[in-house]
């Protein structure tokens, strides 16, 4: 899995701070650009502390994500407030095997051999369909959820906070949890104040939506 932050709103924390300040100010928006950085940072921290996260919707982040499974992207696109551009199995020829192997299968030698053999057979049949003149848009029907894909994702900061609450959780599926943690690491580099306390709900709200009391992260 490769995750790279390839774009984000300029001044990702200044603009939300200006938006927060504007709601309690007689000043025009353009005048707030001149506000001292320290003052803007203080305002942003206070707004976030109060839970008024609508202002951070003015900041968005774009990620380039590659070598993840179709199983992962099926989960990812359930997050509605986002924009997606995914590699097409209809127009791209996937004649060479490229797939994700779950860690629990990798650790079991016999299971790993059976898994790899299954994938080999699938791709052999996929290529046979292509050779028979079946278009890729129909041949792709036999490709597995494990098939690798690439996707570009854009989310605003508020949507990302929600995404991290759900997907950084230890009970989230392992692959999308890995993705969420990598994305969180990337955005913290450019917007440390916004994402300072980002993470699963047990960290951000001191609650466990799953009510998994045996979880090591369960709120005390």
Q: Are 169 and 132 in contact (CB under 8 A)?
A: no
pLDDT of residue 180: 97
Render 91-110 in DSSP notation, one character per residue.
Answer: TS---S--B---HHHHT-HH
Active site residue 167: yes
The answer, yes or no, to whether residue 20 has pLDDT greater than 80, is yes
Strand order in the sheet with 83-86: 2-8, 60-69, 148-156, 83-86
Q: Percent of the chain at pLDDT above 90?
A: 77
Provide mean pLDDT across the span 133-137: 94
Asked whether the predicted pLDDT for residue 93 surpasses 90, the reply is no
Q: What is the mean pLDDT of residues 103-113?
A: 96
Measured CA to CA, the distance from residue 144 to residue 69 in angstroms comes to 9
Lookup: tokens for 132 = 């028979």
pLDDT in tens, 36-63: 889 889 999 999 998 889 999 999 999 9
Length of the chain, in residues: 220
pLDDT of residue 34 exceeding 90: no
Closest CA to 192 of 87, 48, 6: 48
Give yes or no for a contact between 69 and 145, defined as CB atoms under 8 angstroms apart.
yes
pLDDT for the residue 33: 83
What digits encode the pLDDT tens for the residues 58-85? 999 999 999 999 999 999 999 999 999 9
Q: How far apart are CA 182 and CA 178, in angstroms?
A: 6
Predicted pLDDT at 127: 96
For residue 219, what pLDDT is reported? 77
Q: Domain map of the chain by residue range? A: 2-84+150-204, 92-142
Query: HSE (CB half, 13 Å, CA atoms) of 49?
Result: 6
Q: Which region holds residue 62: left if phi is over 0, alpha if psi is between -120 and 50, else beta? A: beta
3-state secondary structure of 18: helix
Residue of 70, 140, 158, 167 with catalytic role: 167
User: Phi and psi of 186, rounded to 5°?
Assistant: -70, -45
Class of domain 2-84+150-204: alpha beta
pTM summary value: 0.91
How confident is the model over 215-220, as a mean pLDDT? Answer: 78
């Amino acid at each position: 899995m490769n995750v790279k932050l390839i774009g984000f709103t300029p001044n990702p924390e200044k603009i939300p701070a200006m938006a927060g300040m504007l709601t309690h100010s007689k000043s025009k928006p353009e005048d707030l650009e001149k506000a001292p950085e320290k003052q803007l940072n203080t305002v942003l921290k206070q707004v976030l502390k109060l839970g008024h996260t609508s202002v951070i919707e003015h900041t968005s982040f774009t990620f380039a994500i590659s070598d993840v499974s179709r199983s992962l992207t099926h989960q990812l696109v359930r997050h509605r407030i986002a924009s997606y551009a995914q590699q097409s199995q209809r127009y791209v020829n996937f004649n060479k095997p490229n797939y994700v192997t779950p860690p629990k299968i990798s650790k079991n030698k016999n299971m790993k051999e059976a898994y790899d053999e299954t994938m080999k057979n699938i791709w052999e049949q996929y290529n046979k369909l292509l050779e028979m003149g079946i278009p890729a848009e129909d041949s792709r029907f036999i490709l597995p959820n494990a098939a690798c894909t690439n996707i570009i994702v854009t989310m605003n900061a508020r949507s990302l906070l929600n995404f991290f609450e759900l997907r950084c959780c230890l009970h989230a599926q392992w692959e999308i949890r890995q993705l969420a943690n990598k994305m969180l690491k990337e955005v913290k580099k450019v917007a440390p104040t916004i994402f300072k306390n980002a993470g699963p709900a047990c960290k951000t709200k001191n609650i466990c939506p799953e009510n998994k009391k045996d979880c090591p992260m369960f709120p005390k």
